Amino acid sequence: MSEHLPIATLLTVVVTVAVSLYAFKDDSFREKLIFEPRAILAFKEYHRLISPALLHLDANHLIGNMLTLFLFGRWIEMFFSVGMFMGIYLGGIVGGNLLALWLHRHHEYRALGASGGVCGILFAWILLFPGGTINLFFAIPIPGWIYAICYLTYSFFAMKHGWTNVGHDAHIGGAMIGLLLAALLVPHAVMASPWLFAGLLTLGGMIFFYLWKNPLMLPLKNFTFGIQIETPPKRSPNARPSASEVDAILEKVSRKGLSSLTPKERSILESAAKK
């Protein structure tokens, strides 16, 4: 392993900052790059699986992502390779956005930010440097493996219950892709820390299994830039379900059969049939 100036990491930060600052001032430019399931699925604008990583909501969002990317990405580039850094970063972006696309394929949803790629780099770093610590709030040192477990657990419950307006789905998807790519590219890292890899892989697998079995887990909300702007009122007993809810349930029936529906899902389907 040889150390060198992390040129790719620095260039990635510079380009992302430049594009984000430009998008702050040009709404039409931002609209062409932002993550939006309908644009990807209906209009085949597949560049939106990567381009949202060049956009950020505000200066704090941008600084937080780029600082984390530089602090951890430079070690992967310096001690391994430029190709490995870029592969993990781009893989995390695409992986996170693919998970978000699947979860929100029936929702009006818009998001931006490089968090999926940043999480991919962070989890790759945790596997490649298992003895490392992460300074929470730049003051509280936490072993990387503890941070990873807490991060995945918190992200899952925050996503499930809608605790925050952050796109936790992209974080989880990016983190797991980063972990798997690091394991694939540096197999001896898995041999050196088998319990770390197995533990994180198991936890991530449980989260993905839950998401697969529960397509209606996420609240049906409208998002702009990953921030909730409207929460629909509670449904009255006689109110009709939304088209998004019915579509999701019908898709589940087509994949797993009518017997797979929960009582709540059956009730929604029966309500939709009454017209």
| DSSP string across 162-194 | T-SSS-HHHHHHHHHHHHHHHHHH-HHHHHHSH
Please report the pLDDT score of residue 244 as a whole number.
63
224 SS3 class: strand
- Burial category of 272 from C-beta neighbours within 10 Å (exposed 0-12, middle 13-18, buried 19 and up): middle
The structure's pTM equals 0.78
Q: Are the C-beta atoms of residues 186 and 80 closer than 8 Å to each other? A: yes
Say what percent of the chain tops pLDDT 90: 59
Q: Are 55 and 30 in contact (CB under 8 A)?
A: yes
Indicate the SS3 state at residue 230: strand
What confidence score (pLDDT) does residue 238 get? 58
Residue 225 has pLDDT above 60, yes or no: no
pLDDT value at residue 212: 82
Task: Please enumerate in sequence order all residues whose Cβ is within 8 A of that of 162, keeping only pairs 6 or more positions apart, or say none.
Answer: 218, 219, 221, 228
Q: In this model, does residue 131 exceed pLDDT 60? A: yes
> What are the tokens at 52?
């949202």
Where, residue-wise, is CATH 1.20.1540.10 in the chain? 7-227
Q: What is the CATH number of domain 7-227?
A: 1.20.1540.10
Average of per-residue pLDDT across 175-185: 97
Residue 263 pLDDT level (bands cut at 50, 70, 90)? confident
pLDDT-derived band at 122 (thresholds 50, 70, 90) equals very high
CA distance readout (Å), 99 to 20, 108, 161, 233: 23, 15, 17, 27
Residues 6+ apart with CB under 8 A from 172: 96, 99, 119, 152, 155, 156, 159, 204, 207
Work out the angle at residue 115's Cα, subtended by the Cα atoms of residues 184 and 93, and round it to the nearest 5 degrees: 45
